[in-house]
Structure 1
Amino acid sequence: MMDWTDRHCRYFHRQLSQHALLYTEMVTAPAIVRGDAARFLSYSEAEHPVALQLGGSDPQELAEAVRIACGYGYDEINLNVGCPSDRVQSGSFGAILMEQPELVARCVAAMIAASDGPEITVKCRIGVDDQEPETILPDFLARVSDSGVSRFAIHARKAWLQGLSPKENRDVPPLNYPLVHAMKNTFPHLHLSINGGITDLDQGVAHLEAGMDGVMIGRAAYHDPARILGRADMRVFGGGTERLAEDAVAAMRPYIADHLARGGKLAQVTRHMLGVFAGRPGARGWRRILSEQGHRPDAGLHTLDAALAHIADPHARVAS
C-alpha cells in the first residue's frame, strides 16, 4: 500500500474502526537510518493500534531502523517479504526474499534483538516464480519462526517477479486459501493471518471461523472503507455499532482544519476519503468535487461541505 496508507489515511480509517490494526506504508530501513526518520515515522496517537511496515534485507540496518522506530511507540513492526514491485526487487527486499529464508531469519533475529517493545512480524507470499508453494511455504515459516517470529500475514498468491507487473501480481496468480489454512494446522502455535482477494467482511469472518487468527484486507478496505472498516468493530471485534460514513467525515473536520492551518492541502487528506460513500446516491458528485477542487489553493472545509451536499442531495449541481 505504498503511497496509500499514509498518516492521513490511517487517521481517517481510525474514525471508522477503533480496533482494526492499521499498517503504515512500507518504509525502507535505509530511509529511516540515513534519511529524515521523523518524516517517515511520525503519526497521531489516535491511530493506535498501528504497525510500522519495514522493507530491507540488511540485518544490521533493519536492527538500527527498529531501534529508531521504537522511540515512536508503534504497536508492531512488520518486515515486508511480499511486495513484488520492481523498485523493491532492485533493492533486494520484498517478495524476492522468499528465495532466501536464511537471510530473512537473520533479519528478524536482529530486529527482535533491537526491539524494546513492539512485536516483530512478517508479511510474506506463498512463494515466487517457479517455487512450489506446498514445499517452500512451510519451510519458510519453520526457518523464520525459529528465529523468534510468531506472527505472519500470508498473501495467498505467488508473486511472479518476472513477467507480471505489481498490479497483475495482485490479481493474476491464483489464490490458494487452502494452503494458507493448512499452514495453521501445521503450525498451530503461530499466529497466522490470511491476505489476498478478500473483499468483504463475510469472507473475512469465514476465514476466522475456519481457524485463521487474523484477516488482512488492503485495497477493498481503502476503496470502500465504510462497508468494511465501518462494520468491523461490530462484526469482528464484538462491540459497538456500525460507524456511518457521515460520522467519519464529521470526525475528520477538526483534523482537516488543523492540517490546513499548518499549511497543508485539502487533497492530501481527502484523497483517502473518496470511497467512503461508495455505492450510495451522490457518491460520484462527492468524488468529483474533491478530485477537481481539492487541489485548489483556496480549498477548505467549504469544499468538503460542497462535496457532502451531493450525498444529502445527489441531484445537486457541481460548482464550477
Structure 2
Amino acid sequence: MQANERQLLPLEVAPLTSTFFARLRGQDLLRSRLVYIASSPVRVARTPRLAAQTDGDHIFKLVWQLRGGALMTQGGQTIRLAPGKMTIYRLSSPYQLHTHGDYRALMLKVDLADMPEWRRLAERCEGLAIPVDAAAHAALAALRVQLRWGSDPSIGQVEDAALELVFGSFWRYQREQLYNAPMPSERLTKARRVVLERLADTLLAPEDLAYALNMSVRGLYDEFRRYRMTPPAAFIRELRLEQCYLALLDATPQRRSITHIALEHGFSDGAHFARVFRKRYGVSPGDLRARGKQLG
C-alpha cells in the first residue's frame, strides 16, 4: 500500500486476503487532512516507534465508518466500528485496526493544539464508537464534497462548519453519557445520581454520600478504591466541573451567566471556580462559552 504514506501517517500494513486492494483519495484542508479509503480486509498498526514520530499529543484522527467493519484497539481498549458509527483517537498513541468486509471510511486528521475546548471534547470521546447523528452526518456530507471539488475558495468555511457540527455531536453525546454511562457497581451508580441531584448543595460531602448509600464513610472509600475510582470528594468535584463544562457549551437561547452556572453547581466563589476550571480543562470558562456560541 504505497499510497499509505502519501495520504496517511506511516503505518504497518498486513493484507488479510490474497487479492488485496486499496484505494485512497486525500485532500488538504486549511487545518486538517481529509482522506477517503476503500480496501479489502487488512490489519494496520501504528506501532510505538511510529506513534513516537507524531508531533505532540494534540493531533487526532476522526473516522466515519461508511461500509464494512473494523475492530480498533488502543490503550488496551477495543471498540467495534460499523456503518453509522464514528470515533476519534490520538495519533501519538499506538493502535491497531483490523478491518473486514468491503471497508470504506472517511478520515479527518486534525491538529487541536490551539483549540483546548475541542481538544477536551476529543479526549472525552477518545476510543468510543459514537453514533453518527444528523449533525455528524451533515459534516460527513460536506467533507465528502471537498474530495470532489478540491481546492475551492470556500474550503475554510466548509471545514469550520463541519468541525463545529462534529464537536456539537460530541457535546450532545457527552451530555447524555454523564447521566447514563455504566458505572462499575450499583452503589457507584447511586452515588453519581445523588451528586447530580444535589449539585447546588455547596455542603455536599462524602459523609452525605455514605448516608444516602446506607453505608459507613470507610465503606464508601473502600467502594471507590475497589474500582480504582477517584476518592469521593474528588468524584463530587469532577461531576460538578463536568456539568459546568457542558452548561457553558450549551447553545440554547436561555443562557445563564458564568457566575450563575458556578453557583447552581455548588461553587460558592466565582474566582475560585474559574481557577479550578482552567486548571482542569486548560481553558477559561469565558473562552469555553465563546466556543459554545459557535456550536449553536
Whether TM exceeds 0.5 here: the answer is no
Q: Greater Rg, structure 1 or structure 2? A: 2
Name the one with the larger strand percent.
2
